[in-house]
Every structure is written in structure tokens, then in C-alpha cells.
Amino acid sequence: MKKFRWNDECLQYTLQQMPMIKDHRSKEEVYRQLMKARKTARLKAWFLPSLASIVAVMIVVVISVHSLPFTKQTEEKSDKSVITLQADQRSNMSQPLLSANQYSEFPSHIVTKEALNDQDVAVLGLPDQQSQIVIPISVPVPKHESVKRQLETAKTQIDEQKWGVSKHLLNGVTMVPSRESKRVWLVYVSKQHPVFLEGRVSESLFLSSIEETIRWMGGKKIRFFTGNKEGMKLSHKGYIESMEIPKKKRAYYLYQLSSSHPVYLVPSPQHFPTFLKALRQMQKDASASLRSTIPRGVQIEKVDVQQDHVVVQFTEDSKLDVSPSLCWMVEAILLTAKEFGFRSVTFMGGNVKQIGPYIFGKKIDVPVGPNPMMATLHTR
């Protein structure tokens, strides 16, 4: 069929023949109707494709869930097995790492005399896998072995991957107390040890690891040997024949390499003049990786020093409960008290009678060591 082409005159004539239409609405009402129509058109244009996408995603999720052999029990267990320390958060944003009902599944961060039973413990200072900090780790060892043998036994039990630490700086190193005095230790380093080839950071970590280990083992002075020759020459630190272990009064913080690694209590790099100042500082993060151990809402009113014993008094409005973060707080305070030469601590105040196994108003001995890493030492 041939199409008829309309010209302007035809259009004008046709329109003049149509009946007149009157709109009695106001201009405002006409405008509102136009805007409503535009919104409806936009909503239809957005809603229909989005609805189709949502339905598709829901179908995929349903199929995936039914195809996985998970049960509610395993999902809950998985949720409880992850602890996340967000190092980029400031201390005033710190939250408890675990809920209260999860604490029983995680071991203590200190070694007590009662937990040793018929064993002894060797403490090794080990760098983390990112070479950021040296972590003191307690490993159970047989009582009847010599100290030299105990340290060697402890090294063989280290699980670097699982614990997030590195022992390569202690490999090829023999540490033993001298025959003249148990306070003086002899450290024999093999000539092929990596510390002679690696840089300044490795040298610092090496010396810190040796110092931390021998400090916990009761040593006060270190004499170095390369092979059987006295002294040790490092590329950056120079020649070192001996080293005094200074008295360090340190605070304790929380450290975790990643969510798949354990949480540790580690000493601060800086020293503090008084026990109370150390506790005050433990309310703040020491660095991006060292998290505060005294949570927000917990205030220490005073400390009362009584020779080798100290009383820690919390304010009555302190928010104390049985959450893991507060159990770790108590353990961090006990380790800090040991740094300052105290042998026991009594906790008071806070309107609580007990936090975890720690009873308020009762003397608590300072720990034998920090961060026990073997199941035989876990008492909770």
C-alpha cells in the first residue's frame, strides 16, 4: 500500500476539525502529574532488571548451600576458631577479641607452676615471620634434661607455619650456662650462620632473640663464640665479645600476625619507670601491631607496693566481666608485674569476685613463662 505523505497544511486542517478539549487542572497539579509519571518510568526501568539479577543470585546461593556438606555445628565451630586483631584500629576503638562463651576454648597465655606438673619449661625468643617483633614462647621440656638439652628439645617442637614465627636465627646456635655461674651464658654460633650474611635487621633480631631467651632462662650476661673462637664479628653491629642483659621493666601487649595465627602476649620495646605507669600505658596501643591489653571502660585506681608483692585496685565503676579480653588483661598485668620484680599480685575492686580462674582478693603468683604453645600445658 502506498503511504500518504502529510504536509503542514493537511495537518493544520485536520487539527482544526477536532473537538476542543479543556483541562480544568491548575499548572501546579499538571506539573505534579508529570513528575509522578517520570518517577514511575524511572522505577520501572531500574526495578525490573534489578529484580531479575536478585532472583538469579538467590538461585545460585540456594544451589551452592545445598551442594556443600556443611552442618550448623561445623559452621558455629568455624566461627569460633577465628580471632581477628585489626591493627589499624586505634586503641580507643579496641573491642574484646572473643565473646565470653568462647574463652574456654582457648588456652591461657601464661605458664603457672601448677600447670607444669612433672615438666619444666624452656622459653625461646622467636621473631615473627614478618621480622617485626621477638615473641617469647614457652615450650614444655623434660625436667631431667640439662638446660642446654632443654633448649635444643624446645627448638625441635617449634611449628613455624602454625605459630607464625621463625627459628632460623636460632638454628646453628648453642646456648648453655657457664660452669662458673648460671648467670653467665655461653652462646656458640656456627661460622655458616645466616646472621653473618644478612643485613642490619637480621643482626638486631638475632641479638634480641638470644637476649630474650637467656633472660627468661635466668641469665644476666652473654659471652659469644664463633665456632670455638671467642667473639663474633657482625657486618653492621661490629665485633661483639660479650653483652650484659639489662634490667628491663616492660609492659605487655597483644600481638597477632594474622587471623590464622595465635594471639600472643609480648613485651613492649620501651621501658617504664614505675609499675603504675606501665599499666597506664597498657590502656593504649603501643604501635600498629601491638594492641592494648587493658580495654576501654577499665580503670586502675591505684597500686599498692608491698615489697615483692603488689595490689592492683580497679575503680568500682570499671567494666569487668569474664570475657577473654579481660582474662588476657589479668595475664598481661601478671607478666608486667614479673618484669618489675614482683613475685605475686592481688587484684581488688571492680565489683567482681573473679575473672576467669583469677580470684580477686587472693595472692596470685607471677607466671613461670609467657605464651605456652603445647597442649600439655593448657589447663583451661
**Rounded-to-integer distance, Cα 131 and Cα 80, Å:** 28
Q: Give DSSP secondary structure letters for 198-241.
A: S-HHHHHHHHHHHHHHHHHTT-SEEEEEETTEEBEEETTTEEES
pTM of the model: 0.71
Identify the burial level of 219 via C-beta atoms within 10 angstroms of its C-beta, where 0-12 means exposed, 13-18 middle and 19 or more buried. Answer: buried
Query: Residue-wise pLDDT tens for the chain (380 aa)?
Result: 444 444 454 455 445 555 555 555 555 564 556 555 555 544 444 444 555 555 454 554 444 444 444 444 443 343 333 333 333 333 333 333 333 333 344 458 898 878 777 889 999 999 999 888 999 999 999 988 899 999 999 999 999 999 999 999 999 999 999 998 889 999 999 999 999 988 899 999 999 999 999 999 999 999 999 998 999 999 999 999 999 998 889 999 999 999 999 999 999 999 999 999 999 999 999 998 999 999 989 999 999 999 999 999 999 999 898 788 899 999 999 999 999 999 999 999 998 999 999 999 999 999 999 999 864 333 33
- Residue identified by cell 485536520 is 14
- Residue identified by cell 595475664 is 331
| Contact between 178 and 170 (Cβ < 8 Å) | no
Cα→Cα distances 231→33, 217, 226, Å? 93, 22, 6
> In angstroms, how far is CA 127 from the centroid of its own chain?
15
247: its cell numbers: 634490667
Task: Return the half-sphere exposure (C-beta side, CA atoms, 13 A cut-off) of residue 145.
Answer: 17
Q: How many residues does the chain have?
A: 380
